[in-house]
Amino acid sequence: GENVEQHPSTLSVQEGDSAVIKCTYSDSASNYFPWYKQELGKRPQLIIDIRSNVGEKKDQRIAVTLNKTAKHFSLHITETQPEDSAVYFCAASMGGYQKVTFGTGTKLQVIP
């Protein structure tokens, strides 16, 4: 089955700096890669996703890149703000297949 590894497990950045979270996956058939943000005590929320037919996708301060050859994808947050502090989960799944495999999460702390 699919195996998703996520690094780092914790990340502290100064407000205004950029944050990068990296994930690798094992199954080359995976072609859908969502990212979820989970604030303390709250539900996970989808923040951005990318499919394998594109290499990069941006939404304001958030961007995701995908390297299918290397089987890794990354989340980039620019101009970080305290409200970006949360646990971020990457995930991978095969198109048309229902089981999304999640990474173990990255706890991001943005220091004001």
Partner 1 sequence: GAGVSQSPSNKVTEKGKDVELRCDPISGHTALYWYRQRLGQGLEFLIYFQGNSAPDKSGLPSDRFSAERTGESVSTLTIQRTQQEDSAVYLCASSLGVEDGRTFGSGTRLTVV
Instruction: Give contact residues for partner 1 (rule: CB under 8 A).
Output: 32, 34, 36, 42-46, 49, 89, 95-105
| 82 or 95: CB nearest partner 1 | 95
* Shortest distance (Å) from residue 4 CB to partner 1: 9
| 27 or 49: CB nearest partner 1 | 49
| 18 or 104: CB nearest partner 1 | 104
**Tally of residues, the chain:** 112
Partners of 101 in beta bridges = 92
* Shortest distance (Å) from residue 61 CB to partner 1: 19
Report CA 82 to chain centroid distance, whole Å.
18
Kindly tell me the burial class for residue 10, based on how many C-beta atoms sit within 10 Å of its own C-beta (0-12, 13-18, 19 or more): exposed
Kindly tell me the burial class for residue 93, based on how many C-beta atoms sit within 10 Å of its own C-beta (0-12, 13-18, 19 or more): buried
* Shortest distance (Å) from residue 47 CB to partner 1: 9
